[in-house]
Amino acid sequence: MRHRAAAQIAAVDTRFKFIRSGDGTRELYDLPADPGELNNLAYSHWRDAERLANYIDWWLQVVPEYQPKPKLDGAEGPGRDTMKLLKALGYVSEED
């Protein structure tokens, strides 16, 4: 198994899962036959890999990249109900 430090993007259809890594690695897995994703078929099933790679390219062109909204100075924090819920779940202490 490879170390997963490079950025990755994946596409899945009814049979295959294709993964393209930022370092250029391509992986294709037959999910029904290999649910543990142990046998990379990217080169033996190159047409399926290419089809899903093209889908990823198309998707990246039509879906805008996420741009988080900048936090406004002086913006209010969570409301009273949210704080009560966070306290009840143990995420915030009573002193906060």
Domain ranges of the chain: 8-62
Average pLDDT over residues 25-31: 97
pLDDT of residue 73: 64
Rounded percentage of the chain residues whose pLDDT exceeds 90 = 56
Domain 8-62 fold:
Arylsulfatase, C-terminal domain (3.30.1120)
18 Cβ contact partners less than 8 Å away, ≥ 6 residues apart: 10, 11, 12, 26, 27, 28, 42, 48, 49, 52, 53, 56
Q: Is the pLDDT of residue 96 over 80?
A: no
Under DSSP, is residue 54 helix (H, G, I), strand (E, B) or coil? helix
pLDDT tens digits, one per residue of 37-74: 999 999 999 999 999 999 999 999 999 888 888 776 66
Q: How many CB atoms lie within 10 A of CB 80?
A: 7
pLDDT at 95 over 80: no
